Structure 1
Amino acid sequence: MLPRAHRRLLVPLLAVALVGALAGCALFDRDEPGTPQAQSTASAGGGARLEIPTTVAAGQVSLIQRLGEDGPLRTLSVERDGAWQCVDCAGDGVTSRGMLAPELTARLQVLLATPALADETDQARRYRTTCIDALTSSLLTSTGLITSQDCPGEERTPVAGEILLLLTQATPAEIEG
């Protein structure tokens, strides 16, 4: 049996690995090139709801956040035109939709097209989660997955950090501890 501290680190690592694995699998399951894919499941009300996206096209971004290993999973997807959808934004099970302001949409597109973003991916940085019970944020961009944790001593990636700040300030809710 794993010690408690190891089990607590295992969940965020598995979540990141799952997103990466799903992204790889989704490359073989596209209707047309450049079309974002998302898993859909039936909710309690019988309708389908968006879950974790597995790929995004250029100009699109998805944010997946979780506070600790037991916190709710927040997923936010933003289209090129600034339209966004957030599932379980505040941990209340509610799906919200809206539009980013035109200046924020323009800024987001500039950030997503920045060549330095490719150097900030988990793969390029060989990123590993290290904190227990921290807010883990994963940005899924067309260049790859970029994960960060809110914990002491962790350096923020410049471009992805700015994207994360833009998204969390421009949408309805941040996960609170």
Structure 2
Amino acid sequence: MPPVSWSRPARVSAAALLAAALVGCSLPGSAADGPAPGPAGSGLSQRGPGDAATAGKGEVSLLQRVGTDGPLRTLNVEPDGRWECVDCAGDGVTSTGVLNPEHVTRLQGLLADPGLAKESDQVRRYQVVCIDALTSSLITSAGLVTSQDCPGEEHPPIAHEILLLLTQATPAEMTA
């Protein structure tokens, strides 16, 4: 099992590599086609149920991109609420901060919800179907949960709450 503490650059690098695989034209529909592990020593190289990439307990990473050519936003949040966002506004800037205690409590409750595992891409057999839509992928200890802002797409409720909390509690939001 990988060590509990990893360097921030390794995690960001792993998130960027994983995101490149995640936000292409489609996502795999089965665990056998799942993403490759991140580089050794990164939190994203842990393997979860069905060999899906996962984050450590209480950690979450959010990867967002509009279409296939848009800038990639990578937000990593630690269990204590410290966050780092790479290219948050599509301007190449990395910013850091800390969630307020209420947000940390809410986020940790959502991440610990056993229903989150039922929302994983593997369980839902999720596939990206829209072109040029905002694609959001959450990497949690329960697995990868992806959604798109497409007409008619239902968002997994727990993951959607996490997504809203993260995008509203950090200073920059993805713009189309």
The alignment's TM-score, normalised by the length of structure 1, stands at: 0.75
Alignment of 1:51-62 (within 5 A): 55-62=54-61
Structure 2 residue ranges without an equivalent (≥5): 1-22, 46-52
Structure 1 15/97 Cα, relative in aligned 2: closer, same or farther at 3 Å?
A: farther
- Please tell me whether Structure 1 or Structure 2 has the larger radius of gyration of its CA atoms: 1
* Number of equivalences: 145
Q: Could you tell me how far apart the structure 2 residues matched to 1:124 and 1:113 are?
A: 17
Q: Could you tell me how far apart the structure 1 residues matched to 2:24 and 2:63 are?
A: 14
Structure 1 residue ranges without an equivalent (≥5): 1-9, 39-53
Q: Could you tell me how far apart the structure 2 residues matched to 1:69 and 1:21 are?
A: 17
One-letter amino acid of the structure 1 residue matched with residue 43 of structure 2: P
Structure 1 145/95 Cα, relative in aligned 2: closer, same or farther at 3 Å?
A: same
One-letter amino acid of the structure 2 residue matched with residue 36 of structure 1: G
Decide whether the 8 Å contact of 2:28 with 2:127 is kept in 1: no
Alignment of 1:19-168 (within 5 A): 20-23=34-37, 29-30=40-41, 36-37=43-44, 55-168=54-167
Q: Could you tell me how far apart the structure 1 residues matched to 2:158 and 2:54 are?
A: 19
Decide whether the 8 Å contact of 1:12 with 1:136 is kept in 2: no
Q: Could you tell me how far apart the structure 2 residues matched to 1:173 and 1:124 are?
A: 31
Q: Could you tell me how far apart the structure 1 residues matched to 2:126 and 2:151 are?
A: 16
Q: Could you tell me how far apart the structure 2 residues matched to 1:55 and 1:161 are?
A: 17
Query: Over aligned residue pairs, what C-alpha RMSD do you find?
Result: 2.4
| 1:13 alignment partner, one of 16, 26, 35 | 26
One-letter amino acid of the structure 2 residue matched with residue 21 of structure 1: P
Identity across the alignment (%): 62
